[in-house]
């Protein structure tokens, strides 16, 4: 849309901008045209002062062909009780910011903190009531998702506040880039970082569109076997040098008495673990074959047994991913790899922290699904007769800083459910 901009000294120019452009960015464009610093620019539209810097132009009521008047903010004192332009002097009033409490001071710290906690609690409930947005948050913003699943409201509020501050800081950097000199080295660094981030986001979006399977979890390769007659789920790891077994599994298989402590030491790989000793010869039953191997017994090992490269090479094993089987070359026997529902608990996760919090996350997800089902049923019964939305719901979401088109789009997506639409809008804002 084209907006006509004029100043008090009859300087007139036209700016062609997007209707989603925020007010602070529009001020930066005006600063480039007039030479006035953006923090000294006041904009008046239809006799009203535009004060919310982070709202879009169309949200502030600016349309194509409108006229905006630029006023320079000066240090001259005017009436402190008036927030409008003095028509006789045509000068914007100098606002008094001395009474605004800075967060962290004694005066306004408690109310600000209370409001922050209330906002965090409200956003947290919105995410918990929408499992699809919760899953999206876990993918795009794992740190905030971890704080959400920790059931610690203070931690969630702290992380959300930090990320919003970081978002505002990046926005300020972007504004400085617009106002900076083209050959400013600091501005060039910021521009390079902005380009790098955009390239990363574009690369991720392309991967999600063309190769979505890359974001899934790969099922680890496990087989069923027996050690001294005891069933064990063994992990096939061609990257491990030796075959290992946990001390707990050795106790269950009644072979702990065969451990030779002279072979104790330290196993180094991704981490460092203590080796209790070695069992020199044990028969492992795979299907109808009995294969002889040795084990290094580790003190703290989440997997019961790991078949390493020493055994795989000795028996000429072949990992056939096409047919999803392990083929033993010396006998020709094939054993299938286990399906995901047959894997042990330690094989379903990628990190120990996830393993510790898996039960808690399962409970949170189950609770969120139940709440979402109830919320959907109540919203479906109220919106099944008509696709029209309440104007009050639209205005409430627009007042939160979203455009009317975005609000209507999300309401259409969730069949008029205001809470789920709000959760989706917040999820897109908090993408970090």
Confidence band, pLDDT 50/70/90 cuts, at residue 348: low
Pick the catalytic residue: 228, 237, 310, 393? 237
- pLDDT of the residue at 327: 93
Answer yes or no: is pLDDT of 110 > 50.
yes
Confidence band, pLDDT 50/70/90 cuts, at residue 175: confident
Residue 416 region by backbone torsions, left for phi larger than 0, else alpha for psi between -120 and 50, else beta:
left
Nearest C-alpha neighbor of 245 from the set 313, 294, 314: 294
Answer yes or no: is pLDDT of 104 > 60.
no
Nearest C-alpha neighbor of 324 from the set 340, 305, 307: 340
Q: What is the architecture of the domain spanning 2-72?
A: Roll (3.10)
CATH of domain 222-343: 2.40.70.10
Query: 406 vs 248, which has greater pLDDT?
Result: 248
- pLDDT of the residue at 384: 44
- pLDDT of the residue at 76: 43
HSE-up (13 A, CA, CB side) for residue 247: 12
Query: 289 vs 218, which has greater pLDDT?
Result: 289
CA distance 95 to 362: 52
Nearest C-alpha neighbor of 52 from the set 87, 16, 30, 27: 27
CATH 2.40.70.10 maps onto the chain at: 222-343
pTM over 0.75: no
Please give the C-alpha separations between residue 74 and each of 9, 26, 42, 330, 422, in angstroms, as whole numbers.
Answer: 15, 20, 10, 90, 40
Answer yes or no: is pLDDT of 179 > 80.
no
Count of residues for the chain?
A: 432
CA distance 13 to 3: 9
CATH 3.10.20.90 maps onto the chain at: 2-72
Known active-site residue 64: no
Query: 380 vs 238, which has greater pLDDT?
Result: 238
């Amino acid at each position: 849309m084209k907006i006509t901009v004029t100043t008090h000294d009859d300087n007139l120019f036209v700016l062609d901008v997007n209707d989603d452009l925020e007010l602070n960015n529009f001020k930066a464009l005006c600063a480039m045209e007039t030479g006035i610093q953006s923090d000294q620019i006041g904009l008046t539209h239809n006799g009203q002062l535009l004060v919310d810097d982070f709202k879009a132009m169309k949200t502030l009521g600016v349309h194509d062909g409108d006229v905006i008047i630029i006023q320079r903010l000066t240090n001259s004192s005017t009436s402190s009780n008036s927030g409008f332009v003095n028509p006789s002097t045509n000068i914007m009033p100098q606002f008094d910011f001395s009474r605004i409490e800075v967060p962290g001071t004694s005066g306004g710290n408690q109310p600000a903190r209370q409001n922050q906690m209330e906002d965090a609690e409200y956003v947290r409930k919105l995410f918990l009531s929408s499992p699809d947005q919760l899953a999206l948050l876990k993918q795009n913003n794992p740190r905030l998702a971890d704080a959400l699943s920790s059931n610690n409201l203070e931690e969630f509020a702290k992380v959300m506040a930090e990320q919003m501050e970081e978002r505002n800081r990046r926005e300020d950097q972007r504004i400085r880039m617009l106002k900076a000199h083209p050959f400013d080295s600091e501005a060039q660094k910021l521009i390079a970082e902005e380009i790098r981030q955009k390239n990363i986001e574009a690369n991720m979006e392309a991967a999600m569109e063309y190769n979505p399977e890359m974001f899934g979890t790969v099922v680890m390769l496990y087989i069923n076997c027996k050690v001294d007659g005891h069933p064990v789920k063994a992990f096939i790891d061609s990257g491990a040098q030796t075959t290992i077994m946990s001390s707990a599994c050795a106790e269950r298989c009644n072979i702990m008495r065969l451990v030779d402590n002279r072979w104790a030491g330290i196993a180094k790989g991704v981490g460092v673990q203590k080796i209790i000793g070695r069992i020199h010869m044990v028969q492992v039953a795979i299907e109808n074959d009995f294969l002889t191997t040795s084990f290094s017994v580790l003190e703290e090992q989440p997997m019961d047994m790991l078949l390493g490269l020493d055994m795989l090479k000795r028996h000429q094993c072949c990992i056939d991913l096409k047919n999803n089987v392990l083929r033993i070359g010396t006998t020709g026997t094939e054993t299938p790899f286990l399906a995901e529902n047959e894997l042990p608990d330690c094989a379903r996760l990628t990190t120990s922290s996830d393993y510790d919090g898996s039960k808690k996350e399962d409970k949170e997800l189950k609770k969120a699904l139940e709440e979402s089902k109830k919320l959907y049923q109540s919203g479906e019964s109220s919106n099944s007769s008509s696709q029209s939305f309440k104007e009050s719901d639209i205005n409430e979401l627009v007042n939160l800083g979203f455009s009317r088109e975005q609000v209507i789009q999300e309401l259409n997506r969730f069949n008029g459910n205001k809470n789920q639409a709000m959760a989706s809008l917040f999820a897109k804002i908090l993408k970090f």
